[in-house]
Chain A
């Protein structure tokens, strides 16, 4: 309908030359790029894509398409499947099929976390100095008793965790 409107305008000479050319067809017009044309897509929410999957049919496929115009009971099962595969790329089952990608992802993540551990090893070996003596078990034991004797943080902290009657950590 739009084309006939355009043609009527051509008769009235009410339009520019470039539109004239477009109305006539091919001369001097840029070919439409693939990405600007309706595209096929495998998506769960698009059950009938705008175009068939196979665009350029082989001679065999063209013959099959002709046969499709007749009664469908004449088609064999293989021919039906071939017609399906012309129209669609993946079936829903194929589309929805899960992959094993998670294994690669998780394995890769764990590997690089391991590399992080290697960095820590390097730091300990080459960078950190000796640990201060106040971290030795002996010192920390004495330090802890002193903190408890002073009743440090008695409400929710360390003294609250110690049972002063039984002389042991609260369970």
Chain B
């Protein structure tokens, strides 16, 4: 009897219309990620900002005495 009822609920399951998130969620997520990576990729690499990174591991010391 429980098996029948279980099937019945599934059969009579009211259709849930997709909400905004069902329809556009993937689009918003990917679009937002695309905007983010584009803009910040540009900011970090092309813009020419001085980020003040540590010289450790990056800079080769050069003779300074004249």
Contact = CB atoms under 8 A, between A and B. Distances in A.
Contacts of B62: 138, 141-142, 144-145
Interface in A54-99: 77-78, 80-81, 85, 91, 94, 99
Given A117-B40, A118-B39, A121-B39, A107 B25 contact: yes
A148 B36 contact: no
The SS class assigned to the B binding surface is helix
Contacts, number: 116
Contacts of B31: 107, 111
B8 to A, nearest CB: 4
A148 B63 CA distance: 11
Interface string B38-55: 111011000111100001
Contact of A169 (B27, B47, B56): B56
| Interface footprint category on A | 35 or more
The 8 closest A-B pairs by CB, nearest first: A103-B25, A145-B61, A107-B28, A107-B32, A110-B32, A141-B62, A117-B39, A142-B64
Interface of B: 4-5, 8-9, 12, 14, 16, 19-22, 24-33, 35-36, 38-40, 42-43, 47-50, 55-57, 59-64
